Amino acid sequence: MRRSDALLVIAATELEAIYDSGYIDEGDETVRSIGRVLSETARDSDVVGRIGRNAFAVFALDCEGQILANRIATAVANAAEHASLLATGVADARAFDIGLSIGITEVRGDDEFDALMARALTVLPRGRKSNNGAAVRR
């Protein structure tokens, strides 16, 4: 089986709406929840981080035929429902539907990080349109 590295970019829809509506604590708890899922799913050798207001990344090292990247994507997608539940504790009972979209790209040869990130981000909007937590690969 071929081994490779992969970059997963995860966007949380409606996270900005939570913050923009003034629900800072609920937004922060949703961010922590997503971060926990990513950290618990990734291996010790992977790099996990928040890369924007509503975006996260996992740099998965030495994947076996994308098996690990797919496992992470599935776990994160499954967490979308849990994250949505966390966001319903707002004062006016407005429920925010947190969706997670995942773009996955494989490292190619001597990819520079900027090129790798750009490729993952170009895949991401297709996943966002469906807002179903789908993982899109390129």
pLDDT score of 126: 52
SS3 at position 113: helix
Q: Retrieve residue 52's tokens.
A: 């924007």
Q: Indicate which CATH number applies to the domain containing 123.
A: 3.30.70.270
pLDDT score, position 130: 42
| d(C-alpha 24, C-alpha 130), whole Å | 26
pLDDT category, 135, cuts 50, 70, 90?
Answer: very low
Show the domain range for 55.
3-137
Pick the residue with more confidence: 116 or 98?
116
Q: Which of 125, 126, 137 is nearest to 6 (CA)?
A: 137
Instruction: Say how many domains are in the chain.
Output: 1
CA separation, residue 63 to residues 56, 58, 89 (Å): 19, 12, 38
**Contact (CB, 8 A) for 98 and 133:** no
Residue-wise pLDDT for 35-91, tens only, equals 888 888 788 888 999 998 889 998 888 876 567 667 777 776 676 556 555 555 555
Task: Give the C-alpha separation, 12 to 112, whole Å.
Answer: 25
1-16: average pLDDT: 78
**Is a pLDDT exceeding 60 seen at residue 1?**
no
Q: How far apart are CA 45 and CA 5, in angstroms?
A: 11
pLDDT for res 56: 92
pTM of the model: 0.75
